[in-house]
A and B are shown apart, each in its own frame.
Chain A
């Protein structure tokens, strides 16, 4: 019996069973591309998006996360097999810990529970100036607050201007402006770097 990966691999490389649409000339045909947009839900401007939740995990029970939002609203978020979890990269469900901050997107159920399609744990997007570089860390001055950013070998990349991403971060300079996408270490001023965007 072929594994699921084999099925997916043959689907993308050469067609196969169950393929709805596949690359012909670099992109999908317009039918496939626009089919999904019809189901996209309209949200009133200014109204909270019912399919979105943010906050910090208070407790984890089976496959359900109890999350306290920053507006003090509780969310119950259910994570299933098809839910993507991000914590400095795709991670399994057991990487989620109480105390982690999260953003989740999914489908709101009639009972108020959010069936998550994607969960991003501790994701942060910060801008600032590099104060110092020492060891495998950058010290970032973010509006006068110091953020200690850790370079994670094999995960952290730098994107200089328009050039392709590189795992070599040695081009970064003290005092330059950067934007850092990464994973916050809860209750610290420390961040693990996913991507450093540098203007030059």
Chain B
């Protein structure tokens, strides 16, 4: 347990470094800054400076977490930043539900439950760090001096450590799992693993490979019909969509209304030559009881 708490600063710092560097260095991210919820918060004109400021803040906290010694304030700063992320995500989902969050990279998807889960997990990691950090005593206080509250927290952590030791949880495995979960919750990375995985599953399972249809779908005949010279010559006179259709002798008959007449088309069921479509205008009113 203590190992897990001790490793949290590095996990948080990794994600903050990634987020900060993307915000400061990615040209694409700057180009898309106007479409993030941050632009809504700061105004479109200040979206890029705001993005840079957040990036700098993230890098500063990441540096503080990575550079020893680890101070309680570092962990508190990380926790505050993570809590700020959560508040920002809540704002984004209410005020700009169509905007992306602009957290870790460029993607156009709006804030969803995964973004909240990732920010929540980072906050939990930051709190774990804060609980596991011995405060460097300020001023005259000797190193190791603890306040009552901190003593209580430490006792709790130690109890947790003992309990975890009893379970003999493999610390590296837990940390790897945590990083994997955080990465899996990052919609920015979906195209690298989720999309290929889904493509592979589709290739293996072939969900849409339906048995060959005996009947030609009507839409297929209509597509051929609409490209035919016969339809083009009659289209200006048609007033209704398809009224009736039936198949007979390898042909599909399609009936349209044409004001006080009826247009009937014969579309071959096989072949895709639009020139084979035939049409006749019949002096039979399609609208019986027509008001026209």
Contact = CB atoms under 8 A, between A and B. Distances in A.
Contacts of B206: 170
Contact of B209 (A81, A86, A132, A170): A170
B187 to A, nearest CB: 10
Interface stretch (A6-14, A42-50, A54-62, A66-74): A6-14
Contacts of B110: 144
Contacts of B261: 20
B186 interface: no
Contacts of A32: 233-234, 237, 281
Interface residues of B, number: 72
Interface string A1-36: 000010111011101001111110011110011111
B195 interface: yes
Contacts of A76: none
A82 B210 contact: no
B98 A143 contact: yes
Contacts of B208: 133, 136, 151, 168-170, 172
A26 B212 CA distance: 31
B195 A82 contact: no
Main secondary structure, interface of B, reads: mixed
Contact of B98 (A8, A33, A144, A159): A144
Given A83-B287, A133-B202, A153-B210, A9 B253 contact: yes
A83 B285 CA distance: 11
B262 A27 contact: no
Given A8-B255, A117-B240, A168-B210, A19 B198 contact: no
Interface string B249-292: 00101011111011011100000100101111111111111111
A95 interface: no
Contact of A26 (B223, B229, B253, B257): B229
Interface of B: 98, 108-110, 191, 195, 198-199, 202, 205-210, 212-213, 215-220, 223-224, 228-230, 232-234, 236-237, 239-246, 248, 251, 253, 255-259, 261-262, 264-266, 272, 275, 277-292
19 contacts: A7-B284, A8-B264, A13-B251, A18-B284, A21-B281, A27-B233, A28-B279, A37-B237, A80-B288, A80-B290, A82-B243, A82-B285, A86-B242, A89-B218, A117-B287, A157-B219, A165-B217, A168-B210, A173-B202
